[in-house]
Structure 1
Amino acid sequence: MATSLTGIGVCWACLSMAAALLCCSGFYLPFWIQGRLLGAVDAYFGSFRRCNYPRVSPSSGLIEIVEECGRYSRFRDIPSVWWQVCTILVGTGSALSLLVALTAAAACCITYVIHTGSARLAGALQLIAAILVAGGAALYPIGWDNREVKESCGNTSGIYDLGTCRLSWSAYLMVSGAGLLVLCFSLSFRASRVKPGSFRI
């Protein structure tokens, strides 16, 4: 297997893939916070998806609980502008981390995909991705005062106050991914043994 990565570089590539998977999984899965809907069913929220929600039954006109996960049908339907911004930031950061991870993985198998300059650039992109994900995660609690969260977390919920709800495992995945991206940034400086301009044709 030909590679221009050092031993640290191979570790960087593996950690980059792990960080990207954590960020992307944490972003997509709607288990950021967990509450209780009508005191009967667990409700989960992400920035653009949720699980278990009330709706008016078309046949009886009564409120029923739909026990399934889904995304909001339109971007504007996301119940808080802060959640909309969070979706953009975390989604962009996750996509950026995945792009770098795929490039790093390719560098494990193909010679001269990454040299010292491009490894540093990739590391800088990972740092930017970590900042985007962490920034989105920091903005998300500002939207906890919306009606949907109050239905599941009680009227005491508000900005940075979950009321009766609690953080769930998907949020921890995302934050762990952002932390790994920062570690990858520091490893990227020692990732390649090939200097720019030393490629062979």
Structure 2
Amino acid sequence: MCFVIVTSRSLLWSLLSIAVVLGHLIALGQPYWLIGESRSKYIGDHTNVTRPEGETSDQWSPSIGIFNSCRQLTKFYQLRLGLPDSIRCTIYTNNFSGIASGFWKASVVFYGIGFMLLSFVFCVAFISLCKRSICHKSIFTVSGFVQAVAGLFIIIALCLYPIGWGSESVKQVCGQDADPFQVGDCRIGWAYFTAMGSTVLLFVCSILSVQADISTSQDEIQDEINKGKSLICLFW
């Protein structure tokens, strides 16, 4: 018989664990890890060009992520014809070897390992509603350990990322002053902070998993099971 057991602490752990995975997924997919200074869309001898319909600003900011970037890709005649979306955000490489820096490649490897571990916890977060053990071990403590290990891998990835700021791709966005741990003319974007915040929350989940295990092992839970209930909710 399957028992669905929900407590406030186990539910909080599940929701935060899902939020962590989504946070890292959003951070990885965005090109806003480094954001360059604002630049004019209209350069050279074409400063008098009519602004395309729908354009609200003559300024744009290039940006770059681990494997994608936002750059001005259209030519002057496209602006003159009024074609929209003059800024393109695309993957700048189609293979692993094309990633901008060797340190970024290492960062992707460590981040990928951490994210795979988090994907495991993502699935476990749903299973934990009706299953309390894996291989005779508490499903929460196992998940908490996996989350801690994943957090260590992701921390390594986030520390390796700034070392790659001296690559040529970063210099194109941030200027020639860009070097390891020096962003040059850029600023750190919200995607990198999202990754950092999600990592902090990840360790909070790892600690909370202990409390989730305690809350689902209370005597009251066993009493409810003995009464024949299949859905047990204890919000304390």
Q: TM-score, normalised to structure 2's length?
A: 0.70
| Counterpart mapping for 1:177-192 below 5 A | 177-192=198-213
Report what 1:10 is aligned to: 11
In structure 2, do the counterparts of structure 1 residues 148 and 169 end up closer, same or farther at CA, with 3 Å as the change threshold? same
**Secondary structure of 1:18's match?**
helix
Q: Is the 8 A contact 1:89 1:133 kept in 2?
A: yes
**Secondary structure of 2:35's match?**
strand
| Residue 99 of structure 1 pairs with residue 99 of structure 2 | no
2:5, 2:39 → 1: CA distance?
57
Report what 2:30 is aligned to: 29
| Counterpart mapping for 1:57-136 below 5 A | 67-108=88-129, 110-112=130-132, 117-136=138-157
Max Rg structure: 2
- Note the residue ranges of structure 2 that are not aligned, 5 or more in a row: 42-59, 75-85, 223-236
In structure 2, do the counterparts of structure 1 residues 72 and 53 end up closer, same or farther at CA, with 3 Å as the change threshold? farther
1:174, 1:74 → 2: CA distance?
23
Letter in 2 for 1:27: L
1:49 to 68, 82, 85: 68
C-alpha RMSD of matched pairs (Å): 2.8
Report Cα offsets for 1:141-171 as digits up to 9, x if no partner: 1000011111111111101000110011111
Q: Is the 8 A contact 1:17 1:98 kept in 2?
A: no
Report what 2:21 is aligned to: 20
Letter in 2 for 1:48: F
Letter in 1 for 2:198: G
- Count of paired positions: 187
Letter in 2 for 1:46: G
Letter in 1 for 2:102: V
Report what 1:139 is aligned to: 160
1:111, 1:153 → 2: CA distance?
50
Superposition deviation, residue 39 in structure 1: 6.0
1:43, 1:2 → 2: CA distance?
53
Letter in 2 for 1:32: W
Q: Which portions of structure 1, spanning 4 or more consecutive aligned residues, are displaced by more than 4 angstroms?
A: 36-41, 113-116
Q: Is the 8 A contact 2:64 2:173 kept in 1?
A: no
Superposition deviation, residue 2 in structure 1: 4.3
Report Cα offsets for 1:94-150 as digits up to 9, x if no partner: 232132022112323x34466862311110110111111121011101000011111
Letter in 1 for 2:11: V
Percent identity between the two aligned chains: 25
Letter in 1 for 2:63: Y
The range that moved more, 32-41 or 162-171, is 32-41
Superposition deviation, residue 53 in structure 1: 6.3
Superposition deviation, residue 14 in structure 1: 0.6
2:30, 2:66 → 1: CA distance?
9
In structure 2, do the counterparts of structure 1 residues 53 and 10 end up closer, same or farther at CA, with 3 Å as the change threshold? same
- Note the residue ranges of structure 1 that are not aligned, 5 or more in a row: 56-64
In structure 2, do the counterparts of structure 1 residues 129 and 53 end up closer, same or farther at CA, with 3 Å as the change threshold? farther
